[in-house]
Structure 1
């Protein structure tokens, strides 16, 4: 069955599988370290409460059958262990069927997490990891050469990621068509990185070139993925370079990294192909059946891309087998940040002793330079960016966050960089204020050492006291 496989892509498959396993490992570690405060039994959006009102068919998950924090932690740690095994290449040591089952384990576990993760897991890269992870199950191991149809489907996903993002920009904010979006984006993006300040201060003509190059990469180059070699390799390489540029300019979780991973099996690596056995008939039948299903389901994202009302980052089935993607259809011109403060004063005066909570990634202290966290995902920091855009984004969870700060909840405090109050001596009151942030100029940076300048805008949440605070004190 030479028509079924492409032996020249075995190295691309190998690099792709190991890199994908690494992203799985990061995703599961993120879940292990953050779930208790976010979706645990006492979390801000508890899983038990969610599954009570959500049917299994709408959000299939192991946690629909049973939930406890210990069970969740066990599943997440199992995902870490299996991902580490795949990263080490254990699947290549197993029979073909066993290797496929091993790849199915992290997909099943992460699907279970995403489907109960609610707002904390409502990011496009979650669905992208699941869609790509499902295809990886059928990519085979060293027993067989990579199936042509699965390689095609991986290119099809990459095409939708890039082309969908390009279309949403052209249909969205006019600044993308005017080539001016990067005058603002590096400053107002969800979580700036250590180099974002410098990217923002690049000359404006270079920003225009960046936007124009982005349009070419997302609207023209994706079609070249289906061209003969070496054109397809050139297209994939250009996408990888573009994504690395984005990695340097901000913290976008593993969005850029999984796009790079998707481009790897397109590349024709100059390596000799090992001798492999022919694909067994059962494997051919399974791969063709699954591929036919995925191609049929692909109708929905294609229809969305062609629609004038294109939407970003939506799944069209509860298993996240096919999804639509896109990013930054609109770009904020002004950066707002919610600053949370607490006080031990008995009376919460405006000019009292208010102490600021410091987050790990989002801007806070104007003198603190941003750090690089991606591909690790700071979920609370990202949601705080949305909360600053509009209180409606924070409605389901912000009140619970404040309550846990008032309680000195240790799991919540672990999500922060620093709390001004020890867990056993929480504040009497917590308030939130909205500030406008802007990057300092070169001169201001030299004079003050601060990368941000912030200006008070308004009260976001008035001083709030826990319902049980009076009883504790």
Structure 2
């Protein structure tokens, strides 16, 4: 009686999705554990404790409303990482299906708790994407039960919104996507270029046009094929996977591309046709979850049709059934905030200013852009936004300067190099530079990846504040 419920050729697709999702959870929890102290800890840039003082559970559901300390937060993050690792290794297939569901619920709740107190550092679309995919994973079951067709369709609906929403926001948002010139700029001005970004930028312009056309086809046409019978749906998912791998090669977008690939794996017709059990209790739970997702889908569906389409928006505090999109506008010129310090008495241009080097973002023009994704360097990403508009940094940049003047280890630990390790500077300032990739000739002659020119000030020299 439950033949309709089981997607018989999705056994391996489900397995790949769940194992891949567990790996991404692992990365996310490790990022949270390693960067918490500098970003959100008591001596961090925007402490969680201070945030919780004026935020209610209803506004931001999180277990940290029940208890919070630096040690407890870090323990939660490492516990999530350990559970993710066990899940990636097969924990959920070694226990009965109700316990497997419980494991996925715990992972989702732990990461939701972190995101909802993460403030500006957790305002990225891939946080909500991970939570929505993680919620759907709860209802996929394990080897005890057949792959539920309803949940697999909901994953395709998620993939559709992710790709189609990104395609629409581009066409609505910036003419360079419509005249096919977007990638004349994007590889150079994207938030965090990777090791191959210089070569991608230097591809002939006709190739850039082909890249843009390929993007439009993948995001605006292919997503509709996801709802057709196999193997058409699987072909659509495969096209998306190939496109995402191209993006993996061309830049660093945390786990966005890898998570998209993992979701697409669930749409591939993988695994032999084999019967699967579907206990009545399991069917009831899956049907109930499907109804909830369908009801919540009204808001993101309406958003897709709206001329005022919102990008990367959550319509509820649980980050379920969200709106997605990326690069609705393309930056034409790259600016970087360069932070410097000096021990000189007077903070003038005659002082010996030394630069702080960040882990991922451009700084030293001779340093090749590193590969960091799927790891997420949250401070580096916010520095890119700060260069676009100082308003993005108003809540945390002054504190960053003060923590550098104090030599705070939790904050300097977020950096690649602190030139004043053990002996903080007397003054800190920040200046804005225009960066561009070197030409082929400049690259041969200088060995540099970037050329930079001073564009102006960002933060006037400041001294350490004296507490009273």
Shorter chain as normaliser: what TM range? over 0.9
> In structure 2, what is the Cα distance between the partners aligned to 1:317 and 1:272?
38
Counterpart contact for 2:168–2:220, Cα < 8 Å = yes
> In structure 2, what is the Cα distance between the partners aligned to 1:257 and 1:130?
14
**Residues 166-210 of structure 1, C-alpha deviations (whole Å, 9 max, x = no match):** 000000000000000000000000000000000000000110010
Match of 1:467 in 2: 465
SS in 2 for 1:266: coil
The RMSD of aligned alpha carbons is 1.0
Match of 1:377 in 2: 376
> In structure 1, what is the Cα distance between the partners aligned to 2:449 and 2:410?
30
Instruction: Note the C-alpha offset of 1:53.
Output: 1.0
**Residues 378-402 of structure 1, C-alpha deviations (whole Å, 9 max, x = no match):** 0000000000001100000001111
> In structure 2, what is the Cα distance between the partners aligned to 1:131 and 1:222?
18
Match of 1:272 in 2: 272
> In structure 2, what is the Cα distance between the partners aligned to 1:302 and 1:351?
58
Match of 1:52 in 2: 53
- Normalised to the residue count of structure 2, the TM-score between the two structures is 0.99
Counterpart contact for 2:432–2:455, Cα < 8 Å = yes
Match of 2:93 in 1: 92
SS in 2 for 1:446: helix
Match of 2:5 in 1: 4
SS in 1 for 2:5: coil
Count of residues in correspondence between the two structures: 467
Equivalent runs, 1:97-136 vs 2, <5 Å: 97-136=98-137
Instruction: Note the C-alpha offset of 1:318.
Output: 0.4
> In structure 1, what is the Cα distance between the partners aligned to 2:263 and 2:450?
36
Match of 1:29 in 2: 30
> In structure 2, what is the Cα distance between the partners aligned to 1:390 and 1:157?
31
**Residues 32-74 of structure 1, C-alpha deviations (whole Å, 9 max, x = no match):** 1001110112211111111111111110001111110111011
Match of 1:321 in 2: 320
> In structure 2, what is the Cα distance between the partners aligned to 1:158 and 1:42?
39
Match of 2:196 in 1: 195
Match of 1:308 in 2: 307
SS in 1 for 2:142: coil
Instruction: Note the C-alpha offset of 1:275.
Output: 5.7
**Residues 112-140 of structure 1, C-alpha deviations (whole Å, 9 max, x = no match):** 00000000000000000000000000000
SS in 1 for 2:445: helix
SS in 1 for 2:241: helix
> In structure 2, what is the Cα distance between the partners aligned to 1:24 and 1:262?
13
> In structure 2, what is the Cα distance between the partners aligned to 1:351 and 1:334?
29
Instruction: Note the C-alpha offset of 1:274.
Output: 5.6
> In structure 2, what is the Cα distance between the partners aligned to 1:188 and 1:99?
43
> In structure 2, what is the Cα distance between the partners aligned to 1:389 and 1:373?
22
Counterpart contact for 2:61–2:317, Cα < 8 Å = yes
Query: Hey, which bits of structure 1, 4+ residues long, moved more than 2 A?
Result: 271-276
Gaps of 5+ in 1: none
Gaps of 5+ in 2: none
Match of 1:41 in 2: 42
> In structure 2, what is the Cα distance between the partners aligned to 1:4 and 1:267?
18
SS in 2 for 1:372: coil
Counterpart contact for 2:93–2:143, Cα < 8 Å = yes
Match of 1:443 in 2: 441
- Normalised to the residue count of structure 1, the TM-score between the two structures is 0.98
Among 427, 430, 438, the residue aligned to 1:429? 427
Instruction: Note the C-alpha offset of 1:468.
Output: 2.6
SS in 1 for 2:98: helix
> In structure 2, what is the Cα distance between the partners aligned to 1:100 and 1:210?
40
Match of 1:356 in 2: 355
> In structure 1, what is the Cα distance between the partners aligned to 2:382 and 2:323?
21
> In structure 2, what is the Cα distance between the partners aligned to 1:33 and 1:75?
12
Equivalent runs, 1:188-267 vs 2, <5 Å: 188-267=189-268
Q: Which moved more, 1:404-413 or 1:345-354?
A: 345-354
> In structure 2, what is the Cα distance between the partners aligned to 1:247 and 1:83?
23
SS in 2 for 1:253: coil
Counterpart contact for 2:192–2:381, Cα < 8 Å = yes
Match of 2:329 in 1: 330
> In structure 2, what is the Cα distance between the partners aligned to 1:231 and 1:268?
10
SS in 1 for 2:434: strand
> In structure 2, what is the Cα distance between the partners aligned to 1:28 and 1:416?
19
**Residues 197-245 of structure 1, C-alpha deviations (whole Å, 9 max, x = no match):** 0000000011001001100000000000111111111100000000000
**Residues 246-290 of structure 1, C-alpha deviations (whole Å, 9 max, x = no match):** 000000000101100110010012x335664x2111111111011
Match of 1:292 in 2: 291
> In structure 2, what is the Cα distance between the partners aligned to 1:171 and 1:461?
35
Counterpart contact for 2:52–2:65, Cα < 8 Å = yes
SS in 2 for 1:320: coil
Q: Which moved more, 1:186-195 or 1:2-11?
A: 2-11
